[in-house]
């Protein structure tokens, strides 16, 4: 999907009202009846139809002809638009540049603020690749009215934002978080190569230890990255220091499968170093030892559960998000 930043400024007030009304109506309608959009926006029916037509031509909403009623749904284009407009109103993003990444569940763009400072915009898009797989397994979303893909994407972005902030505040090497709105986050642009692209390093052992140290530091703060691999570790172009990204799937060390996730993170690094740098070491962190060696004294360590509670996530939402991620990681990879 292409993002058109020049578009942000060219939307009339009435169009914006109708778009927002469609978004509000989506909270409890999969297809929002035109009459409801008119009611929420406070505009005349005829006027609303015309505006909806023009929003549909710009792919911000899509018309759906239901058996019982006609209506519209917000598209990802419309959702992107609303998020960008919010960021632009707050002056955190003024222009959108090139797309630099397409992940399994995200789109990454370079953006800039009014001063021309380059940043990274990450748009969460749950459901893009996994829709068919999940759908074929069971009608996941059918059971949960509130759990639309856009809603899930927003939760995912909010969760990533919460982690990025707390990690950054606690001195972990992660991009500086800048802003968040709906399903997107804005963060510092890191001048780096993903570890995946690095073919040789002067001291593989040194890098290996700093990555294992990071896993240990995470765990001692009560966290497991959960996707700690060569795609989510950036190597700074100037300092060669590792910077970690991609946090929506982080879990607590008190999660019932914590040890599994911990070992998987450790194993990812070991396997990659063996294959890529022909580097192997008998030294690697063990879950129980790491947890036991945690300095419990009066250390002011932070805990995932505390972070999550403070960010106001509902338990059901977290569960739904975890389930969706489980499907994405365990089902889609094999099917799609
Ligand atoms: P996904 O969830 O789709 O894997 P990531 O957060 O891992 O998304 O980002 C995908 C890619 O975008 C990364 O592998 C990296 O190349 C690039 N990227 C993401 N964030 C940044 C950043 N802050 N600075 C520079 N590059 C980034
Ligand atoms: Mg990633």
Q: What is the pLDDT of residues 314-335, one digit of tens each?
A: 777 777 777 777 766 665 444 3
Domains and CATH numbers, the chain: 1-90 (1.10.10.10), 192-333 (1.10.510.10)
Q: What size, in residues, is the chain?
A: 336
Question: Could you tell me if 70 and 34 are in contact, meaning their C-beta atoms sit under 8 angstroms apart?
Answer: yes
Q: Does the beta carbon of 121 lie inside 6 Å of ligand 1?
A: no
Give the per-residue pLDDT at 145: 39
Question: Could you tell me if 336 and 132 are in contact, meaning their C-beta atoms sit under 8 angstroms apart?
Answer: yes
Distance 15 CA to ligand 1 centre (A): 33
Catalytic residue among 227, 246, 265, 317: 227
Q: What is the pTM of this model?
A: 0.88
Give the per-residue pLDDT at 251: 87
Atom of ligand 1 nearest to the CA of 101: 12
Give the per-residue pLDDT at 121: 97
Q: Does the beta carbon of 122 lie inside 6 Å of ligand 1?
A: yes
Residue with tokens 């929506």: 248
Q: Return the sign of the alpha-carbon dihedral for residues 157, 159, 160, 161.
A: positive
pLDDT band at 30 (very low <50, low <70, confident <90, very high): confident
Q: How far is CA 120 from CA 128, 130, 271, 330, in A?
A: 21, 24, 29, 28
> 56-60, 96-100, 156-160, 327-331: which range is least confident on average?
327-331
Q: What is the 3-state secondary structure (H, E, C) of 181-238?
A: ECCEEEEECCCEEEHHHCCCCCCHHHHHHHHHHHHHHHHHCCEECCCCCCCCEEEECC
pLDDT band at 180 (very low <50, low <70, confident <90, very high): very high
> β-strands 118-124, 95-102: how paired?
unpaired
To the nearest whole number, what is the mean pLDDT of the chain? 86
Q: Does the beta carbon of 229 lie inside 6 Å of ligand 1?
A: no
Q: Does the beta carbon of 108 lie inside 6 Å of ligand 1?
A: yes
Nearest of 37, 32, 81, 88 to residue 60 by alpha carbon = 81
Give the per-residue pLDDT at 299: 46
Q: What is the mean pLDDT of residues 154-174?
A: 93
Distance 306 CA to ligand 2 centre (A): 25
Nearest of 200, 218, 309 to residue 261 by alpha carbon = 218
> 163-177, 226-240, 315-329: which range is least confident on average?
315-329
Decide if pLDDT at 33 tops 60. yes
298 is catalytic: no
Torsion angle of C-alpha atoms 160, 197, 101, 261, degrees rounded to 10 = -30
Q: Does the beta carbon of 217 lie inside 6 Å of ligand 1?
A: no
Provide the token pair at 255: 């999660």
Atom of ligand 1 nearest to the CA of 191: 25
Give the per-residue pLDDT at 198: 96
Decide if pLDDT at 141 tops 60. no
Residue nearest to ligand 1 atom 12, measured at CA: 101
Distance 147 CA to ligand 1 centre (A): 25
Give the per-residue pLDDT at 214: 97
Distance 218 CA to ligand 2 centre (A): 18
**Between 1 and 261, whose confidence is greater?**
261
Provide the token pair at 311: 């960010």
Q: What is the pLDDT of residues 73-120, one digit of tens each?
A: 999 999 999 999 999 989 999 999 999 988 778 999 999 998 999 999
Q: Classify each residue of 18-43 as buried b or exposed e, where b means 16 or more C-beta atoms within 10 Å of its C-beta.
A: bbbbbbbbbeebebbbbebbbebbeb
Q: How far apart are CA 137 and CA 306, in angstroms?
A: 34
pLDDT band at 232 (very low <50, low <70, confident <90, very high): very high
pLDDT band at 311 (very low <50, low <70, confident <90, very high): low
pLDDT band at 124 (very low <50, low <70, confident <90, very high): very high
Give the per-residue pLDDT at 255: 87
Calculate the CA 49 to chain-centre distance: 34
């Amino acid at each position: 999907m292409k993002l058109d930043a020049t578009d942000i400024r060219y939307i009339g007030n009435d169009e914006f009202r109708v778009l927002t009304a469609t978004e509000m109506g989506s909270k409890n309608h999969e297809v929002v009846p035109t009459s409801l959009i008119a009611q929420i926006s406070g505009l005349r029916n005829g006027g609303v139809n015309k505006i909806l037509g023009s929003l549909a031509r710009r792919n911000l909403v899509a018309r759906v002809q239901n058996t019982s009623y006609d209506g519209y749904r917000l598209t990802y284009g419309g959702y992107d638009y609303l998020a960008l407009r919010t960021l632009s109103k707050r002056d955190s993003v003024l222009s959108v540049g090139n797309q630099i990444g397409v992940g399994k569940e995200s789109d990454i763009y370079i953006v800039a603020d009014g001063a021309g400072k380059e940043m990274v915009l990450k748009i969460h898009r749950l459901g893009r690749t996994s829709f068919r797989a999940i759908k074929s397994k069971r009608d996941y979303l059918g059971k949960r009215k509130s759990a639309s893909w856009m809603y899930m994407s927003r939760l995912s972005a909010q969760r990533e934002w919460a982690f990025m902030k707390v990690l950054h505040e606690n001195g972990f090497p992660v991009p500086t978080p800048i802003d968040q709105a709906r399903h997107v986050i804005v963060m510092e642009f890191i001048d780096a190569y993903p570890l995946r692209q690095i073919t040789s390093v002067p001291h593989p052992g040194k890098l290996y230890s700093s990555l294992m140290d990071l896993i240990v530091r995470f765990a001692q703060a009560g966290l497991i990255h959960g996707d700690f691999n060569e795609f989510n570790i950036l190597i700074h172009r100037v300092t060669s220091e590792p910077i970690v990204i991609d946090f929506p799937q982080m879990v607590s060390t008190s999660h019932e499968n914590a040890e599994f996730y911990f070992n998987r993170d450790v194993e990812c690094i070991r396997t990659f170093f063996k294959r890529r740098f022909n580097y192997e070491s008998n030294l690697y962190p063990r879950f129980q030892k790491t947890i036991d060696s945690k300095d419990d004294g009066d250390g002011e360590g932070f805990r995932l559960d505390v972070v999550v509670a403070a960010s106001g996530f509902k338990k059901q939402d977290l569960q739904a998000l975890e389930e969706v991620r489980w499907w994405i990681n365990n089902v889609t990879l094999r099917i799609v």
